[in-house]
Structure 1
């Protein structure tokens, strides 16, 4: 009998072992697709859902659209940037509110966030992606609770999107932004696809876009919280400083962080620990201002 009791106790301990050391429920990444009539194909995206999303079905959440860089896809922020791990840590520490984070895919075909004759990605983003997210997930669908951020190519996309649609976003957080054509040694000038992408980027030169903005447009841009984050060893450092100079010349408030680092995932992962709390605070202030 004693031996039987010992086996029973051992069995119960073994059964309990998987629960020992387990963390409470955490936010998680999901991967999905949506149809696009504008692009004529299904489009992939990743979405981070906070830990209380499923357990609190009556609650809606702010939303951040987080754009990847050139050569990557919607999986880059979750896998290379460790998005879920960073968001869980930041939210659990109360440094940011729970939010939904959407990572669109813009790298597998034409690798840009803008419109051209063959690929109307910007139209897709605003006319199809955002409405789809807002009808599929419990997001608070207004400017105060919607933000955009991105790195490199996605940083340039962030700044252009927020300039084209300042009525849509409370905050724009741009990391290591690729803002206009740069003749870089790792880009093949003889590749027609490279040249095509470079032309599209230059057609959407975000510095020129800001400098050419009308006084009426400038007033609208002042309703967005602008944050520029770039490493001091980054090859995009000079364009980012030019964008800051343009902001100053137009009298648009902004925040700037120049930190040690280059065009690396180590830098962008660390940027999440600044970006998510900052965006969260902007959303809180916008909501408070309306009360």
Structure 2
């Protein structure tokens, strides 16, 4: 179901769905890169004046559609005045679906000629095109007749050099198409910026250009990366990464596998760094702001393995290597063989993830609503919301995965995308392989909003071997996908039922394996509040414990569910803690010397997951240090003591590994 991201609006679905509802119910992510590609050399700071032009405020607006509205000379004096962005609502789209145009005339100071400008338009709902002085500078989503919403995508449009009028009058015109009620221009920042101002206004990064010596070695590092991949030399590229490298979910080992895989396909790779600026941020980081592409060939056809994105590469000045952004909220993807395409998902890693390298975590899969996508969690600042739950909120820290489900209803689509098969057979295994998860059903939960509520319950009930806790906010629990025209292969037997029908068909024994939470608001536009009451009746009749709520006020929008995420994530947290509380078995731990490297390697195992591995060399006054990798002993005698703590807090016995110097070992032989 489409739910509005703004608190005061309600999004509507197509008429057929509304009728069915009456009858039944980054760190910062990479964004589109501004500025032209320019090889791998760093640009000197521009002599042109910086541009930091705030364009929020009073704009002209009219509904309707006419190409003439883009022309700078068009007379818009009779249009309505309104505020951009409209953080308190967009009344012009409350009961209107269709086209609307926004126009603003402004002065652009002289002296900024030569700057690479970017128009930051923030977030618009649903589809847009933007024109500066009649020149199209960008667009997001797909216009009718095959409209596709991008309401969750931040608009950052590079401005062609011929578009702006420096030292004169300019007109910015934005054409917006609203697919369902409650659209509009809902969030900024809105402005025209040079790259330095863009970093601060959009990404919150301020700083100053690096000195000449730093710029020289950083430029050399970027050049070595490009040369290594151009030569197909993975080892040379890996030598530019620090041992603690971690960038958007890729540690050094995963990045190595990724690069070697791309080289195996392509033979060589081309790195294109454009608009490079090297800065010392005010928080002390050394950053490379670059528009980076890594391309090659796939099956003999040109292919962008890493499509052009604005990257903030973080460098370690001490080792002169790339250390990664150390982000815990970022975009990732699975190379889906079933879809023959990449499927994007957003990953959230909990606060202690990078600090505790041995700890394993539960996973919650969070599913969005109709007309949404994996990126919709970014304008909601969901990473910060989750941090709050897991710190001051006191919930059990978890990894949260937010896959892109488009409007596919989280099922395999007849003649189209096999979404559910991809999710079960490809995405979940990748998450368990690439992140430190507790890869067991008892530590894997599903949450969903609107259409995502359907997905959470439908997938969860169909796969009891994978999931143990299910949560829904204002979910489409009374709808089957076929009701809204989404069918699956396999004829009548292959269609997914509504979650209400799924629950009705299951026994008490089957349902007792799950923890349940679901809610809705009393004035839900699709009457999903009635679905909550119906599910209450079904679960009560089967004697199944559950947590549910129909809130006395509210509609089908963010106001109904966002303030209550502690309830759904609390369900998953409580379930995990209940499972851990029943675990009284200590983990096992072992240690062994690798004679080739003279290091001691430690391994631990536990049914509910390892939280921490510790070691001490020669007792070290009885204190233990967290194990982060092989323990270097050198050519000496030593006794290494190791122990492990599992996720439930059980501590193993201490295991000793005695190490002799090589000469002593030779004497025994």
The CA distance in 2 between the partners of 1:175 and 1:106, in whole Å, is 17
Question: 4+ runs of 1 displaced by more than 4 Å?
Answer: none
Q: Deviations over 1:172-202 (max 9, x none)?
A: 11111112449xxxxxxxxxx99423x56x8
1:271 deviates by: 2.0
Secondary structure, in 3 states, of the residue corresponding to 1:75?
helix
Contact 1:28 1:49 in 2 (8 A): yes
Which residue among 568, 580, 585 is the counterpart of 1:287?
580
Tell me the TM-score normalised to structure 2 length.
0.36
The CA distance in 2 between the partners of 1:276 and 1:27, in whole Å, is 22
The CA distance in 1 between the partners of 2:418 and 2:563, in whole Å, is 32
Which residue among 418, 429, 454 is the counterpart of 1:131?
429
Instruction: Please identify which structure carries the higher helix content.
Output: 1
Contact 1:36 1:43 in 2 (8 A): yes
Contact 1:114 1:204 in 2 (8 A): no
The CA distance in 2 between the partners of 1:204 and 1:116, in whole Å, is 14
2:653 maps to none
Which residue among 193, 208, 232 is the counterpart of 2:522?
232
1:86 maps to 385
2:542 maps to 250
The CA distance in 1 between the partners of 2:356 and 2:347, in whole Å, is 17
Within-5 A mapping of 1:271-286: 271-286=564-579
The CA distance in 1 between the partners of 2:549 and 2:484, in whole Å, is 31
The CA distance in 2 between the partners of 1:271 and 1:46, in whole Å, is 21
1:27 deviates by: 7.5
Which residue among 457, 463, 466 is the counterpart of 1:168?
466
Which residue among 366, 370, 379 is the counterpart of 1:70?
370
The CA distance in 2 between the partners of 1:162 and 1:261, in whole Å, is 27
Bigger relative contact order, structure 1 or 2 (CA pairs below 8 A, ≥6 apart): 1
Larger CA deviation: 128-137 vs 28-37: 28-37
Contact 1:150 1:158 in 2 (8 A): yes
- Structure possessing the higher radius of gyration over alpha carbons: 2
1:116 maps to 413
Instruction: Please identify which structure carries the higher strand content.
Output: 2
Within-5 A mapping of 1:157-236: 157-181=455-479, 195-197=484-486, 203-213=496-506, 215=507, 218-234=508-524, 235=526, 236=528
**Shift in CA distance, 64/27, structure 1 to aligned 2, threshold 3 Å:** farther
Q: Give ranges in structure 1 of 5+ residues lacking alignment.
A: 1-13, 20-25, 183-192
1:93 deviates by: 0.9
Secondary structure, in 3 states, of the residue corresponding to 1:31?
strand
The CA distance in 2 between the partners of 1:113 and 1:139, in whole Å, is 23
Secondary structure, in 3 states, of the residue corresponding to 1:178?
coil
1:62 deviates by: 1.0
The CA distance in 2 between the partners of 1:203 and 1:99, in whole Å, is 29
1:267 maps to 560
The CA distance in 2 between the partners of 1:249 and 1:123, in whole Å, is 32
**Shift in CA distance, 87/157, structure 1 to aligned 2, threshold 3 Å:** same
1:137 deviates by: 0.7
Contact 1:27 1:48 in 2 (8 A): no
1:88 deviates by: 1.0
Contact 2:335 2:341 in 1 (8 A): yes
Larger CA deviation: 85-94 vs 65-74: 85-94
The CA distance in 2 between the partners of 1:274 and 1:196, in whole Å, is 32
The CA distance in 2 between the partners of 1:161 and 1:264, in whole Å, is 23
**Shift in CA distance, 95/27, structure 1 to aligned 2, threshold 3 Å:** farther
Larger CA deviation: 245-254 vs 130-139: 245-254
Alpha-carbon RMSD across the aligned residues, in angstroms, is 2.8
The CA distance in 1 between the partners of 2:353 and 2:496, in whole Å, is 40
**Shift in CA distance, 148/203, structure 1 to aligned 2, threshold 3 Å:** closer
The CA distance in 1 between the partners of 2:566 and 2:484, in whole Å, is 35
| Count of aligned positions | 256
**Shift in CA distance, 203/34, structure 1 to aligned 2, threshold 3 Å:** closer
Q: Give ranges in structure 2 of 5+ residues lacking alignment.
A: 1-206, 209-280, 284-325, 489-494, 585-669
Contact 2:458 2:496 in 1 (8 A): no
Q: Deviations over 1:199-244 (max 9, x none)?
A: 56x842111122122x3xx312211100112111213111222122
1:40 maps to 340
1:105 deviates by: 0.6
Determine whether 1:103 maps to 2:402.
yes
Contact 1:71 1:111 in 2 (8 A): no
Contact 1:27 1:88 in 2 (8 A): no
Larger CA deviation: 91-100 vs 39-48: 91-100
Determine whether 1:31 maps to 2:331.
yes
Secondary structure, in 3 states, of the residue corresponding to 1:79?
coil
Secondary structure, in 3 states, of the residue corresponding to 1:97?
coil
